[in-house]
Structure 1
Amino acid sequence: MNWIIFFTKNQISYHVYKLNEGDSIILNRRKNTNTIIILTGIISLAKIFCNQEILPIAILSNNDVITNHENGNTQYCIIALKTTYIITVINQENTKNCYPIKIIKYYENTINRYEEIINLMNQQNKKHRVLIFILLIFLRFGRIKKYNIFIPFKLTKNCIANMTATSIDTVSKVVKKKYIHEKGKVHSISIKNLKLI
């Protein structure tokens, strides 16, 4: 859906922001009450509690919707995994009656992304959690070329550690043992000799 045309046509105020790879935004309920829609790109979303504990929420991409809910002292952190454009809706009071039915589909897609991470976090074995997360990313964003699967961005070990609630050492051990090509960042996985059980 072309959100800019939709918002302009319905006279809804909005801002478009560009996030370069690695850029982050902290969403605080008191300061940010706007709905955010990802126009293009890929981001990770995590909840930060007042004790600085991080809870991974989802990996989101095109047309996924983020709304900032009242959650006490918690904040949300958005980190761009590749160059990303987001649009924020400024005056939400005027928008409730003119959202198209399609937005329900986009909300459902976003909820499915949340459930992927919830299911991942239910995995008790940390090494399996890291491997499942990496395979999930390659399944969603990967392109096959000969015996390799490539993703269109570099997945850092720090991002993998945050999104799987593990340490960078655990991520490094898993990456070394599997057929994953990395030089500081994961970019491709070999499927020629990879055996999935």
Structure 2
Amino acid sequence: MPASPSSPWKTADDRLKEREIKREAVLLAAARAFNERGFHNTALEDVAADLKVTKPTIYYYGESKEALLAACYRRALDTLDDVTRQSEGDAADARTRLRVLIIAYGEAILSIYGRCLTRVPDNSLSPPLRQELRAIKRTVDDRIRRVLDDGARDGTLKPTDTKMTAFAIAGALNAAALWFEETGPSSAQQIGEHYADLFVAALQPA
């Protein structure tokens, strides 16, 4: 039998995939603009100009500037949620888990979405969105504390005030996102490894 002719019309799956690719492009452009210009100094026209599309196109994929910011936040927080969740299922000792977690956290927070999370205050969002995203941040913080607690129990990390230490770890990495540049001398992984070395050494049992 002769082969069936291919249809020039896109399937529903093709259209969905194309929409997801375009939405991701819009989110990346928005995150880049927020990082470079600041949230309040960025207009949707700026994002449209960067992508060489019309403003209505941006509305189609983002609805509003706040919606774009919230989506960028979610991308960053979903990644942080994933990397810290992995630390709970790892069978390695807590010292090893902490090192892996810090490096992964560093790479996540220094990504384009992670930098957006750090550089744009969440008070730019509506209270309901702010509460939702802060709940994820608290979950991430709790997981860091649990690794520190596990280290005190298994003897691979010295006992410490886990609340302050977790804040110090996240705070140091979040601060790095304020000055990190993709074209800089150190990669996100290298910076994460540097901070991992510092904190793991500081928490070495006597």
Answer 1 or 2: which has greater strand percent: 1
TM-score (norm 1): 0.28
Name whichever structure is richer in helix by fraction. 2
Which is greater in Rg? 2
Q: Which gives a bigger RCO, structure 1 or 2 (Cα 8 Å, sep 6+)? A: 2
